[in-house]
């Protein structure tokens, strides 16, 4: 098997194991007391894209749905591998930074706090930036023609979802959020 794909496969397993606590919190958040949860297609659609890109990446590890590996593409693959690994672990860091505020849904919990530490000091939605970059990196590392279009197609839906989250946070944290928003970038540091 290809060494880049082995590393991608091992990272999938390791990052999945590291994020089990996040998945449990996401499930608990569905059962916990919620103050507000908007009804929108953006609750599920970006999550579906993420799920399909993960499935695509898993099958790409076995060289299904990939371009033929050619030494001319090695630099692209190595850069993609580095991007994929770095941003998959940074995304886990963002979920851990959110702590009890983490949820797979767009919602405000009864005891919700505005998180402004860690990567949230410079970006309001780092988890989405990292998701986009890790998906694009995984597509490049495996040369997957399944993951690449899914990673690109999910971008507008992720941006829309982040906009809905901003509006919800502004509604519940009013002046505190306005001050936080003035110091941070939307999805890209220092922009928006």
- By the 8 A CB rule, do 112 and 148 touch? no
Is 64 among the domain residues? yes
Is 189 among the domain residues? no
- By the 8 A CB rule, do 8 and 140 touch? no
pLDDT tens across the length of the chain (192 residues): 799 999 999 999 998 877 776 656 555 555 568 888 999 999 999 999 999 999 999 999 999 999 999 999 999 999 999 999 999 999 999 988 998 888 888 999 888 999 999 999 999 999 999 999 999 999 999 999 999 999 999 999 999 999 999 999 999 999 999 999 999 999 988 776
Is 139 among the domain residues? yes
Residue 59's domain comprises: 3-183
Query: Domain with 41 in it: what CATH number?
Result: 1.20.120.1630
Is 190 among the domain residues? no
Is 188 among the domain residues? no
Q: Which residues of 108-131 are buried (b: 16+ CB within 10 A; e: fewer)?
A: bbeebeebbeebbeebbbbbbbbb
- By the 8 A CB rule, do 122 and 190 touch? yes
Per the structure, the count of domains in the chain is 1
Which pair of structure tokens corresponds to residue 94? 């963002």
Is 78 among the domain residues? yes
pTM: predicted TM-score of the whole model, two decimal places: 0.90
Is 12 among the domain residues? yes
Is 31 among the domain residues? yes
């Amino acid at each position: 098997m290809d060494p880049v794909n082995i590393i991608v496969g091992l990272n999938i397993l390791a990052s999945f194991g590291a994020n089990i606590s996040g998945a449990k919190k996401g499930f608990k958040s569905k059962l916990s007391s919620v103050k507000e949860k908007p009804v929108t297609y953006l609750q599920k659609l970006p999550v579906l894209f993420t799920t399909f890109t993960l499935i695509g990446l898993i099958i790409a590890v076995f060289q299904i749905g990939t371009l033929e590996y050619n030494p001319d593409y090695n630099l692209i693959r190595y850069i993609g591998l580095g991007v994929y690994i770095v941003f998959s672990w940074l995304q886990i860091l963002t979920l851990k930074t959110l702590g009890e505020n983490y949820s797979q849904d767009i919602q405000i919990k009864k005891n919700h706090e505005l998180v402004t530490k860690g990567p949230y000091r410079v970006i309001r939605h780092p988890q989405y930036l990292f998701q986009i970059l890790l998906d694009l990196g995984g597509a490049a590392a495996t040369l997957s023609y399944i993951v690449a279009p899914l990673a690109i197609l999910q971008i507008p839906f992720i941006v829309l979802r982040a906009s809905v989250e901003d509006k919800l946070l502004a509604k519940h944290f009013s002046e505190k959020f306005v001050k936080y928003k003035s110091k941070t970038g939307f999805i890209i540091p220092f922009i928006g």
